[in-house]
Amino acid sequence: RMDRALLLVRNELPAPGLRLAARSSSCYQCLYEFLAFVPPSNESLRKPGTASVMVDTQHPLTLLLNSSVGDRDLCKIQYHFGEFGNYSLVVEILSTSNQTVSCDLIINESPINSYLPILFAFLVYMGILAVLIAGRLLMKIDPVRNWVYKKLNPREIDRQINSELGSPNTTDSINCDPAPHSWSTASRRRLCSLDTFRGLSLVIMVFVNYGGGKYWFFKHEGWNGKLHFPSALFSRFVFIMGTSISLSLSSMLRWESSKWKVLRKILWRSFLLILLGIIVVNPNYCLGPLSWDNLRIPGVLQRLGFTYLVVASLQLMFTGTESGTWEGPCPALQDILPYWPQWIFILMLEVIWLCLTFLLPVPDCPRGYLGPGGIGDFGNYPNCTGGAAGYIDRLLLGEKHIYQHPSSSVTYQTTMPYDPEGILGTINSIVMAFLGLQAGKITLFYRDQHKQIMSRFVIWSIVMGIISAILTKCSKEEGFIPVNKNLWSISYVTTTSCFAFFLLLLIYYLVDVKKWWSGAPFLYPGMNSILVYIGHGVFANYFPFKWKMKDSQSHAEHLTQNLVATTLWVIISYLLYRRRIFWKI
């Protein structure tokens, strides 16, 4: 199967037999998982005892062989098996005098290179990009452009000739600005980098949600760990939502909308996001329209809705000072000091998170526990998944109303339900959105001052990186507060915001400053993000987004299906963009 290899163990030792166990390198402080009992060899028939097992190929494994009696360790082997490989582990006695045991790993059949489909897909998309760029360059040549226009719309060309308007000039042709020319000047002033940032995060999120080709690095970490694509996507979406809040509220109030009217819009939008998350984008709706007994209450849209409500309301109380003419002390901090009550509120929220996480007593669990439970921590706390965060969700929402299959259940074999979008983690998603809000304030205070905006993005990225280094001790597991997407730990927020500020800086420079990139194709889903996110979830199991595969154990087929589905949503968003159809709530 995918991500599996076949291991045949040949035991040439006499009775009493062997026990084979394994531990993945991705499983921190885990117990060994029993794989198989290997019978002893039959000395009379001179036939070794054999056992075959499937072993994981996603991460390096440590194999442990010990005697079935007395638990005496015979050998320990560390090896990274290859997908669809066929291996033999031969256990024999080298020396009868001192009973030295030899364990030799032999490759019977070489594994396949499961990463070739990724290379092929990359080359295909690069080819498409090259064709589009070549087409755009050709369209700048007058004879080519006139010929294309004549073929596409000959009547219009004839009309222009008859009216002596001549051939279309350069300003009428396709240019790097993706916005149609009929749009107003105000719409063209929209910061395309924000929509591009949002769209980039959304497109990758859709691809990952569809399966990511079933590659392990497109899946969430089992618990603590590195920031793979999936682990940072949602946080970047929250970050750019905070940035958009600052700009949208400023725009609404500039058009003389009262704060009470804006507050009603905030409440209504938050309500719709939460409602859509519970009713529409919820896997339990497949069980029936009234399956409330197992309805998952937390979720992505629910968290976005509540986070939006808090951060937008907080900003609404202080919007109106982003004129760039603040005359208080320390002008270099004019995007921070006027909002000191907001910072106090955010710091109080963070204190609440720290106190609940590290001081709340959790039954049968150590205080301040941040681990996954299961076989982690040497199996001492199997039912403590998530510590205080998991306990609060199970206490307030009930075990049946939270996520039943967390990522820790695969690596750490946890049995307790745990929701990565739970109550306690929402506090830090508010902090993440507030940091995005700060990026929006920077763009408002220093409007059209590109160097000021970019320098502040760099400073914030560095500050967040330093805080992350202190909290994690630059370690995956040994820090004060490890980076953990499931818990939405504060180190996860500071680390992802560090990269978010840097990524926003890069896109802002390319799209809005130098205008070397229009933001396409990510601009289009970024401007219709709610529709794309909800649509990709609702139609995930329908053709043409999904079809019956010939080989369900092929990364190539899964990758093709997931890339086609993701590309279709980009095309749909582009068509809606051309027709100026945007779904706003």
Residues 341 and 476 in one domain: yes
CA 535 from centroid of its chain's CA atoms: 18
Residues of the chain short of pLDDT 50, as ranges, are 156-188, 290, 321, 323-324
Residues 102 and 241 in one domain: no
Calculate ∠ Cα 377-416-406, nearest 5°. 90
* pLDDT given at position 23: 94
Query: Does residue 175 lie in a domain region?
Result: no
Query: Does residue 131 lie in a domain region?
Result: no
Cis-peptide, bond into residue 372, ω within 30° of zero:
no
Residues 467 and 318 in one domain: yes
Distance separating alpha carbons of residues 581 and 531, to the nearest angstrom: 11
Strands 18-24 and 33-38: antiparallel
Residues 104 and 207 in one domain: no
Q: H or E stretch including 163?
A: none
Kindly name the residue from 80, 181, 220, 228 that is annotated as catalytic.
220
Residues 365 and 502 in one domain: yes
* Catalytic site includes residue 220: yes
Residues 90 and 211 in one domain: no
Distance separating alpha carbons of residues 204 and 208, to the nearest angstrom: 6
Query: Does residue 549 lie in a domain region?
Result: yes
Query: Does residue 94 lie in a domain region?
Result: yes
* pLDDT given at position 289: 54
Task: Quote the number of domains for the chain.
Answer: 2
Instruction: Quote the pTM value.
Output: 0.88
Here the tokens at position 242 are 């905070």
Residues 348 and 464 in one domain: yes
* Rounded (to 5) percent helix, strand, coil in the chain: 50, 10, 35
Backbone angles phi, psi at 485, to 5 degrees: -70, -35
Give yes or no for a contact between 46 and 128, defined as CB atoms under 8 angstroms apart.
no
**Rounded to the nearest 10 degrees, what angle do helices 154-162 and 142-152 cross at?**
110
* pLDDT given at position 363: 94
Host domain of residue 18: 4-109
Query: Does residue 497 lie in a domain region?
Result: yes
Give yes or no for a contact between 246 and 315, defined as CB atoms under 8 angstroms apart.
yes
* pLDDT given at position 186: 41
pLDDT in tens, 163-217: 433 333 333 333 344 444 333 344 346 789 999 999 999 999 999 999 999 998 8
Q: Is the dihedral of CA 478, 432, 308, 225 positive or negative?
A: negative
* pLDDT given at position 17: 87
CATH number of the domain bearing residue 60: 2.60.40
53, 87, 109 — which closes off a domain?
109
Query: What DSSP state is assigned to residue 110?
Result: P
109, 127, 156 — which closes off a domain?
109
Residues 298 and 435 in one domain: yes
Query: Does residue 527 lie in a domain region?
Result: yes
How many Å is the maximal CA-CA distance in the chain? Answer: 106
Query: Does residue 59 lie in a domain region?
Result: yes
Residues 94 and 214 in one domain: no
Query: What DSSP state is assigned to residue 224?
Result: B
Query: What DSSP state is assigned to residue 59?
Result: S
CA 497 from centroid of its chain's CA atoms: 13
Query: Does residue 191 lie in a domain region?
Result: no
54, 79, 109 — which closes off a domain?
109
